[in-house]
Amino acid sequence: MLDGTIGNYTATTGDGFATVEIYRFPDFVKAFGAYSTRKMDNVKFLDIANEAFATKHAIHLWRGPFYVRIIGGASTPDALNKLVALVAERMPAAPAKPAVFNFFPTDTRIVNSERFSAESGFGEGILANSFQASFNIGGEKIDGLIIPAANKQAAATILTAYRNLYVRNGKLLDPIDNLGEDNFTAEDKYLGRAIAFRIDRFVIAFNGYSDRPKLVQLAAATDNKILGSIRKQLVTAEKNSESPDRETRPAWQH
**Do both 79 and 141 map to the same domain?**
no
Q: pLDDT grade, residue 246 (50/70/90)?
A: very low
- 182 in the same domain as 130: yes
Residue 7 has pLDDT above 50, yes or no: yes
Residue 148 resides in a domain: yes
Residue 73 has pLDDT above 90, yes or no: no
Residue 121 counted as domain residue? yes
Q: Please check whether residues 159 and 206 belong to one and the same domain.
A: yes
Distance in angstroms (rounded) separating the CA atoms of residues 47 and 87: 14
Same domain flag for 148 and 178: yes
**pLDDT bracket for residue 148 (50, 70, 90):** very high
The set of long-range contacts for 229-237, using a CB threshold of 8 Å and a minimum separation of 24, is: 229/102, 229/103, 230/200, 234/200
Report the alpha-carbon distance of residue 50 to residue 142 in Å, rounded: 25
CA-based Rg of the chain, rounded to a whole angstrom? 21
Domain match, 80 and 202 both: no
The reply to whether 125 falls in a domain is yes
- Tens of pLDDT, residues 88-100: 999 999 999 999 9
pLDDT, average across residues 208-217: 93
Is 94 a domain residue?
no
Domain range enclosing 210: 99-253
pTM: predicted TM-score of the whole model, two decimal places: 0.86
Q: Is residue 10 part of a domain?
A: yes
- Same domain flag for 20 and 103: no
Residue after which a domain boundary falls, among 55, 89, 123: 89
Among 73-82, 114-123, 147-156, where is mean pLDDT lowest? 73-82
Tell whether 178 is covered by a domain.
Answer: yes
**Domain C-terminal end among 41, 60, 89:** 89
Dihedral sign, Cα of residue 219, residue 226, residue 166, residue 38: negative
Whether the Cβ atoms of residue 121 and residue 132 lie closer than 8 Å to each other: yes
Q: How far apart are CA 80 and CA 92, in angstroms?
A: 20
Q: 116 and 62, same structural domain? A: no
194 & 212 share domain: yes
Which helix (DSSP H) or strand (DSSP E) does residue 164 occupy?
helix 152-169
Asked if residue 78 and residue 187 are part of one domain, the reply reads: no
pLDDT greater than 90 at residue 40: no
The total of structural domains in the chain comes to: 2
